[in-house]
Amino acid sequence: MRVIDNTTDAGSLDELLGSLRATAESTRLRLLALFAEGELTVGDLSQILGQSQPRVSRHLKLLCEAGLLDRFPEGNAVFHRLAEAGAGAALARQILRLLPRADETLRLDRARLAQIRAERAATAAAYFRKNAARWNELRSLYVDEQKVEAELLRLLPGGDAIDLLDIGTGSGRILELVAGRVRRAVGIDLSRDMLIVARANLHRAGAANCQVRHADMYRLPWSEPSFDAVTIHRVLHYAEEPARVIGEAARVLRPGGRLLIVDFAPHSIERLRSEHAHRRLGFADAEIQQWCRTAGLQPERARHLPGKQLTVGIWQAVRAPLREAAAPRGRRHAA
């Protein structure tokens, strides 16, 4: 005879019922199916579903309250995506496995989503064309980017348990690079134009475990250590307060986590300041290493990759792992 466990938390049952009720509606099931394809805004969803934005927002509010979606404001837009953790996240993925992918309504929704993404890709391509000459001029001054990326990958930790943050992600290149080596990668950038570019690139690359968010590198939107690795790739020379950027990066690193900074060694190419908005003309090893120590990190040996006129430096530092509890005093092993 099977024994029923009466210790089940009634609150958990109520939460489950609430989540099930939130999904028991055709439009909300269509929304879940669309979020399986990636993050979207209310405007995107309104266009795909043919419903008003206030109506779509009400559906999204119910799904968020039930824990099935996460919500991220970004300027005048709000992005939603499938929840990453919790009972609601697990339920959302279970429901997605049950949805009939061949359903005509869901197929049309995916087709409209594909059209929106094609338009975004065209916007991204136009942005790159507009800025290509400026970036190509800068790239010609230093070592081949592939060598920099290969060295960065060699130094980065990887594995199914690694969560990575890329500060100042730009076009999302670092996220593309690490997508197959980490569990999750998040890129933040203050430029909404670059976030459009990054999202298009990540979709094209099929990097489903990567996401980007609008955020300030001086005020990262995590209240506690959340990442095993943080990269700051050719961003620090734009910063008014680079030490603060490193301090924020250190703050969100978990014990044992690693910070990698890629930037230029000291140089005297003044036009990079006047024409490319560089705030700093490179960094000395001692300077960055001291900032890391002040942030509570232990610096390791820097790497230098000389180029035609610029040398790329790769600086790394680690947060000390949690120490194991010491054995009580007076305790002795038997001889």
* Mean pLDDT of all residues in 80-109: 89
pLDDT given for residue 7 in this prediction: 38
What pLDDT is stored for residue 132 in this prediction? 62
On whether the CB atoms of residues 89 and 172 are closer than 8 A, the answer is no
Q: What is the value of pTM for the model shown? A: 0.74
Structure tokens at 190: 């203050």
Beta-strand runs (E) in 156-302: 159-167, 182-189, 210-214, 227-233, 253-264, 298-299
Architecture of domain 141-318: 3-Layer(aba) Sandwich (3.40)
pLDDT tops 90 at residue 78 = no
- Is pLDDT of 88 > 60? yes
Domain-wise residue ranges, the chain: 10-113, 141-318
Domains 10-113 and 141-318 in one fold: no
Tens digits of residue pLDDT in 139-162: 667 778 889 999 999 999 888 899
Q: Is 164 buried (19+), middle (13-18) or exposed (0-12) by CB count in 10 A?
A: buried
| pLDDT recorded at residue 136 | 59
- The yes-or-no verdict on residue 241 having pLDDT over 50 is yes
pLDDT at 128 over 60: yes
The answer to whether residue 168 scores a pLDDT higher than 60 is yes
Q: What is the pLDDT of residue 127?
A: 65
Contacts of 286 (CB under 8 A, 6+ apart): none
Residue 71 or residue 165, greater confidence: 165
Fold of the domain built from segment(s) 10-113 = Arc Repressor Mutant, subunit A (1.10.10)
